[in-house]
Amino acid sequence: MSTTQQRVAIVTGAARGIGAATALRLAAQGRAVGVLDLDPDACRETVEKITADGGTALAVGCDVSDTDQVRDAVRQVAAELGPPLVLVNNAGVLRDNLLFKMDETDWDTVIGVHLRGAFLMSRACQSYMVEAGFGRIVSLSSSSALGNRGQANYAAAKAGLQGFTKTLAKELGKFGITANAVAPGFIVTDMTAATAARVGVGFDDFQEAAAAKTAVGRVGAPEDVARAIAFFTADEAGFVSGQVLYVAGGPLN
């Protein structure tokens, strides 16, 4: 078994959508995967798919915005699977609203999960990576980082993750750790379905409209994003750091 195959990965928000697809992809490449989400029971399907294919996975409940829960979750993964040397910061929530309707809880919740969560998880995992002289941190940004009506909180968090990523790349590079971000465009997930519901559009119509504005003429699937994330986590990607890759089916300008 190669060194890459022995890596332990943590994927947050891995019960469904992009997180689940990423956990499955990394497991298929030989990683043992800590599958983190708010409710460990919600991770059962992801874990069962991985183990059914002969992989190793562990479901762990964790609110990534909570310092103590993050510390305990990372320690549990390290104790049961091994030191986490790959981290995918994927956990996310939506609290969409126009600025004049957005309250402080809407703002704090989104910033807390996306931005604070990535900070806490990266801080908790980096010591294992530094000790090993190897690490891969991939954080999920979004095309909304460029600005999106009704998403001041989400856009700010996702733009913040890009600056966070570039800073980690500069601070941690000398320890063999890379940090990169993947910024999806329209991906078919529960979150985009929720957005369609918020604006009062049927999800099929919502997807058709998005596909019509995309260069490749289709919307994305979670697996499209998982493949990009997997590239950044590879041993062979050690000279790629501080980058933001838009997985959006074409240019966004």
Tell me the catalytic residues. 154
* Amino acid symbol at 146: L
Q: Which two tokens stand for residue 58?
A: 């562990």
Q: Which residue in 47, 11, 55, 52 sits closest to 31, CA to CA?
A: 55
